[in-house]
Structure 1
Amino acid sequence: MHPFALTVTCSVLVSLGISFTLDPMLSAYWGDPADHHTAPKKGLSKVLARFNDWFDAQADRYGHVVEWALHHRRWMGAIALASLVGALVLQANFGGTSFLPASDNGNLMIEVRTPASSSLEYARLKMERAAEIARTIKEVKDTNSNINANGGRIYVDIGKKNTRSRSAKEIAVELRDKIRPLVGAEYVVIDDTNNGARKPVQIEFTGPDSRKLLEITSAYMEQLRKIPGAVDVGLSEQDPKKELKIEMNRGLANSMGISINDAAQSLRVAFAGIEVGDWVDPTGETRDVAVRLHPNDRVSKENIERLPIAVTGTNEMVPLDQIASVTMGKGPSAIEHSNGKRTITVSANVQGRSNGEVTKEAMELAKSFNYPPGYGLSLAGAGQDQDELFTEMLIALISGIGLMYLILVMQFGSFTAPLAVMLSLPLSLIGVVIALMVTGSTINLMSFIGIIMLMGLVAKNAILLLDAARKQEKEGVDREEALMHAGRVRLRPILMTTFALIAGMIPVALGLGEGGEFYRPLAIAIIGGTITSTILTLLVVPSFYDSIEIARDRMMAKMRRRAEGMSQILAFGLTMLEAVLTLLGIRLVFRLCLKLFNLMRGRRPAPAIGEGL
């Protein structure tokens, strides 16, 4: 995302330079005629003049709306709080999350995994059967297979998205239903190859014993399949394969003079073979000769039990079953390690829900299991990447807001005036959540970038409004009158920039063309947040600013009164402490507790200073 951020930053800087140089020059060169405002209007000019008159009337009405908002600050605060809480509740209960936006690049993939003991021909037959089924879907144009002894991958070409009526996810649902009856191999349909062609849900289980891990993960898989939206549940390793387990009776073997190494050497000769010489073939080429048990004897428990073991220092031989127990069972086909621990990963695809929702429920299910000492779990794959991404993006968002506040402090020359701008930033979140829900998008990498960009765009409206109001205040105009005047004169530029931004983002939000859906959540988040923030900012920011400035004036007056009876440093410290306690809500809680205590004692609270005057 570094190139993206660099592009946006450079574009803004260049546009800033153009607005200071080229735009004024062109405006002067293409200025209106001298009699433009007095000349009679005709045609389009007449229509635009009527529109301007109508808009000026609406701007006057908006000035009265600002006046109403300034006299109903609690209502404005309640509206702002309700929008923030509503955004959080909607996202928590109905919104989805994912690492990357879902993409439709015109390809599906079927991952086929055959049993560990299968041959290349067996894998070819299983993959060809799956490819035949895939070709029965009307959107499928071609299939290509990559086969190996353990299975392989089938790449399914479904054509460009503008040539078909169904999305890749919808086609993948049909493909899963069609290959589900196939047996003899594990079939997984991948509808989004952005994540390295991996399943989005991956839970990693660790522990000292592979067999115990296999038992835990098998039980977990049964429960995971019951979670809505979790499909293609499987393990990171192949199905367990048959294994021969030989347990030596060390005491008996030692008493007979047979060491573990002697037994292991005999087993190595039987299974791996031993070179006994060489042989010259008819062409004259020398070839090594090795002998070992016949394949049928190597899988027969009875033949292995009769395998002779030499007694060291003698010519005697004893059968293996006299010094060891031989059993046939199943064990892991492969052993994976992570941070020095044996690991098995349970993975799943997602269908009909967002990746984040299914991953969250999968982790909650995994944590509900009781694990023996030494065993544990962790989030892996796209879920782990998503957690790390959201943490980094949250840090970037907070850092950006902090830098924005410092810049506004320098611009306004005040530490309190920018607080009204900062309080307006969360007003965009309700629009972001609703827009993403309506369009079926999720909170992901691109929508998070859109939210970060949105913070600067939302602040722009508040800055336009408050800058005009503060200029009027410096000229001696009453604060309320200044805010109403600023609302009238700044309504047009605020709406003009808002509509221009939305118009520019609409093509991106449509997601046209190959790969267009990757940037679609960014545009959707910006459009939804801009609409709601513009509406709420025009109402809430004036009341926020007026309330903050009134509180600042009261605190300054209180500090001056305290400075009359104590040092200025102590008065400043007490006043700042009171302000911090007020912002944290501690002062409000203390006052409520004091009022409740007085009511319980039957005493009326003391009137505030100046009350009743």
Structure 2
Amino acid sequence: ALAAREGTSEVAMAVTAGMLTTVIVLIPVMFSGGYSQQTMRPLNLMISATLVASLLVALTVVPLMASRLLARPHEHRNILERLFSRTDKGVGFLSNLYLAILRTALRWRVAALILAVAFFLVTMKVVKPVIGGELMPPMDTAIVMLEFETPTDAAPAEVEKTLDQVERIVYAQPAVESVSSVVGSEPGQTSFGGGGATAQSGKLTIHLTDRTRRKETIWEIQDQWRSALRKLPGVRSFRISEYGATPVSTTRAPLDIIISGPDSGVVSRLADQCLSALQGQPGLVDVRRSWYFDKTEYHVEVDPALARLYQTTPADVAAELKGAVKGMSGSSMRLEGYLDIPITVQYAGQDISTPAQLSDAYVATRFGPMPIRAMARVDSQRNQPFITRERLRNTIDITGVNRVYTIGQVAKMTQERLAGIHPPAGYSIQVAGTMADMKTGSAEMGKALKIGFVLLYILLVAMFRSFGHPITIMAAIPLAIAGALWGLLLFDKPMCKPATMGLILLGGTIVNNSILLLDFILEARKQGMAKDEAILQSVRLRIRPILMTTVSTIVGLIPLVFEMAVGLERMSPLGIVAAVGLLIGTFLTMVIIPVVYSSMDSVVLAVKQIVSWTQKTEEIGVAK
């Protein structure tokens, strides 16, 4: 019992500090606002509650159980004890290896610090651009969204025929379980946020078997469909993406180039220039524009003089023509318990089936029904099929999907290609889509990261009553971050919101190792131990709890790192960053942190000696 109390009191401060450092960096993320707060707050609350509970157990239940179990005589070891006793040899070997490396590093402190800084800078310079960036990592959701467009003048029967061909291509894939198809749009309706659509557009929602029951990934299946759709006549453009490719529901596509201005003609010409610039860009597929000037409109121009002669008006002609084309309500059918069903009266289909027959429609006049051609002229022109606006400016969208490359890399290449296009005054070209969401999310997480590390520093200052020791402790964070980036590169994952969350969690976790080492060093030096000996003893005696914490954390993250369940792809970067960063950071910090402490202690001692020498010199001068 005495040993349990003494052991608990020895590590209580370090363990409590370790828990608080992790929780305090998570608090700002819970209140970061926007998409980051909504997606990360439940996870952070769970982690924080678990850490607080684990601290209470570590300081109460564990010492109590240890005092009971370890007090029993152990004349004969059981199987588990004999099995795990072999780990002592491994820990002893690592301890001796670390001590040898640490002795060398303490002799060459400047070189060791230069190597650590170089490792961090090279990683940020080389690895970070290679891994790219996403808002959320790609995920095989087993749901594919396929959108296609036919020429704007295509008849409904032609669109249906094209849909049948598209469905045959889709159903040729054995992994398809079900397909839901929608063709056309509701005319005359205003759409907010989703963009316009025409009657010649189609959308398919395709459900596949989950990734554990098929050999091909969802992206390989999409590539097969792309190859087939490019050869399909009647399909002018298409886009294929997995469900959730744009994590924010209001985002139209991963890459969305918004061209806006007062005149639709100029906007359309700018869109053509952008499409030409994007041809052949690596990593960009399914490039399409939202509309063309290809919708035939028929205008009925009424001669005012003839209208007066027939005692009618252009408004009357328009009303008669609307009735001929769309019909008019003549009566309603009433059913008990149901809403009234309107009965529409209109021309027979064969009498108004083509635009050329518009001039044959009749209008009521003082001389009786007269054909429209007697008082009006019907002509046609090409126009855009629908109008899209943003901030009261006409817009056109050029959308695309990133493939192989991350959206951050694709957006950067896109901006470089569009840099040579100079829109006229009053017009703009904006690269939006998921990239814009990434910028917003990065700003939210970056702010939370800064606040978290400031709070971490303040907490360490309060606990160690020093402004220098927190710097020594937090020196482990850059090394762990560099290791985490190498982990993302190794597992082919982008920098994304879960990865950023992992970095914040890693920053609060990796300092626990530094706290364990520094706490022992400070206590040993208070008892009169020499600096270098205290440093070596801290590694020799604290390597076991540090390795136990690191290994147990990494083992717990293995299912997340290797995506052992469907759906873990979304959060696997968090596990990779935490596991690999903790692994590399642990092995580096047990060498670098003692070197940083030794160097800062030497600097402080040198400054004190200089100040003392200066004061003595001044005192001697005054005495003379």
Quickly name the TM-score band, shorter chain normalised: 0.7 to 0.9
- Aligned residue for 1:313? none
Partners of 1:277 and 1:241 lie apart in 2 by 26
- Aligned residue for 2:61? 22
Residues 13 and 287 of structure 1: is their aligned pair in 2 closer, same or farther, counting only changes over 3 Å?
closer
- Aligned residue for 1:189? 240
Determine if the alignment matches structure 1 residue 550 to structure 2 residue 602.
yes
* Maintained 8 Å contact 1:424/1:537: yes
* Maintained 8 Å contact 2:268/2:292: no
SS in 1 for 2:416: helix
**1:9-408 counterparts in 2 under 5 A?**
9-34=48-73, 36=74, 39=75, 45-46=81-82, 48-53=84-89, 55-149=91-185, 150=199, 151-185=201-235, 186-195=237-246, 196=249, 198-237=252-291, 240-243=294-297, 268=318, 272=322, 328-408=380-460
* Maintained 8 Å contact 1:211/1:332: no
* Maintained 8 Å contact 1:509/1:521: yes
Query: Which residue identity does 1:201 align to in structure 2?
Result: L
Could you tell which deviates more after superposition, 99-108 or 233-242? 233-242
Partners of 1:339 and 1:549 lie apart in 2 by 60
* Maintained 8 Å contact 1:446/1:522: yes
**Structure with bigger RCO (C-alpha 8 Å, 6+ apart):** 2
SS in 2 for 1:141: strand
- Aligned residue for 2:480? 428
Query: Which residue identity does 1:29 align to in structure 2?
Result: R
Partners of 1:339 and 1:477 lie apart in 2 by 71
Residues 547 and 164 of structure 1: is their aligned pair in 2 closer, same or farther, counting only changes over 3 Å?
same
Shift of 1:48: 4.2
Query: Which residue identity does 1:18 align to in structure 2?
Result: V
**1:497-576 counterparts in 2 under 5 A?**
497-559=549-611
SS in 2 for 1:94: helix
* Maintained 8 Å contact 1:41/1:49: no
* Maintained 8 Å contact 1:277/1:290: no
Shift of 1:533: 0.6
Residues 194 and 23 of structure 1: is their aligned pair in 2 closer, same or farther, counting only changes over 3 Å?
farther
Note the residue ranges of structure 2 that are not aligned, 5 or more in a row.
1-39, 186-198, 333-341, 364-372, 619-624
Partners of 1:274 and 1:48 lie apart in 2 by 90
Residues 19 and 190 of structure 1: is their aligned pair in 2 closer, same or farther, counting only changes over 3 Å?
same
Partners of 1:505 and 1:19 lie apart in 2 by 21
Determine if the alignment matches structure 1 residue 469 to structure 2 residue 521.
yes
Partners of 1:287 and 1:27 lie apart in 2 by 86
Residues 239 and 542 of structure 1: is their aligned pair in 2 closer, same or farther, counting only changes over 3 Å?
farther
Shift of 1:405: 1.0
Shift of 1:132: 0.8
Query: Which residue identity does 1:364 align to in structure 2?
Result: E
* Maintained 8 Å contact 1:242/1:328: yes
Partners of 1:267 and 1:537 lie apart in 2 by 85
The CA deviation string for residues 289-348 of structure 1, in whole angstroms up to 9 with x for no partner, is 999xx86996699x89xx9xxxxxxxxx99989xxxx98542221221112221111110
Partners of 1:46 and 1:374 lie apart in 2 by 79
Query: Which residue identity does 1:11 align to in structure 2?
Result: T
Shift of 1:43: 6.3
Shift of 1:124: 2.5
Could you tell which deviates more after superposition, 191-200 or 238-247? 238-247
SS in 2 for 1:347: strand
- Aligned residue for 2:5? none
Number of aligned residue pairs: give it: 538
Could you tell which deviates more after superposition, 105-114 or 347-356? 105-114
- Aligned residue for 2:42? 3
TM-score with structure 1 setting the length? 0.78
Shift of 1:51: 3.9
Note the residue ranges of structure 1 that are not aligned, 5 or more in a row.
308-316, 567-613
The CA deviation string for residues 247-278 of structure 1, in whole angstroms up to 9 with x for no partner, is 99xxxx99xxx9xxx99759847865799999
Could you tell which deviates more after superposition, 14-23 or 42-51? 42-51
Could you tell which deviates more after superposition, 141-150 or 521-530? 141-150
Residues 146 and 54 of structure 1: is their aligned pair in 2 closer, same or farther, counting only changes over 3 Å?
closer
The CA deviation string for residues 327-378 of structure 1, in whole angstroms up to 9 with x for no partner, is 8542221221112221111110122221221122122323331110001122
- Aligned residue for 1:588? none
Shift of 1:119: 4.5
Query: Which residue identity does 1:190 align to in structure 2?
Result: S
Residues 55 and 510 of structure 1: is their aligned pair in 2 closer, same or farther, counting only changes over 3 Å?
closer
* Maintained 8 Å contact 1:206/1:341: yes
The CA deviation string for residues 127-158 of structure 1, in whole angstroms up to 9 with x for no partner, is 22111111112222332222335233212222
The CA deviation string for residues 566-601 of structure 1, in whole angstroms up to 9 with x for no partner, is 9xxxxxxxxxxxxxxxxxxxxxxxxxxxxxxxxxxx
* Maintained 8 Å contact 2:323/2:346: no
Percent sequence identity is 23
Could you tell which deviates more after superposition, 156-165 or 53-62? 53-62
Residues 299 and 207 of structure 1: is their aligned pair in 2 closer, same or farther, counting only changes over 3 Å?
farther
Determine if the alignment matches structure 1 residue 452 to structure 2 residue 491.
no
Shift of 1:54: 5.1
The CA deviation string for residues 437-464 of structure 1, in whole angstroms up to 9 with x for no partner, is 2222111111111111111111111111
* Maintained 8 Å contact 1:102/1:192: no
Partners of 2:330 and 2:43 lie apart in 1 by 68
Could you tell which deviates more after superposition, 88-97 or 330-339? 88-97
The CA deviation string for residues 507-526 of structure 1, in whole angstroms up to 9 with x for no partner, is 11121222121121111111
Residues 280 and 411 of structure 1: is their aligned pair in 2 closer, same or farther, counting only changes over 3 Å?
closer
Partners of 2:513 and 2:143 lie apart in 1 by 43
The CA deviation string for residues 458-511 of structure 1, in whole angstroms up to 9 with x for no partner, is 111111111111111111222222111111111111111111111000011121
SS in 2 for 1:137: coil
Partners of 2:500 and 2:264 lie apart in 1 by 40
Residues 241 and 453 of structure 1: is their aligned pair in 2 closer, same or farther, counting only changes over 3 Å?
same
Residues 528 and 240 of structure 1: is their aligned pair in 2 closer, same or farther, counting only changes over 3 Å?
farther
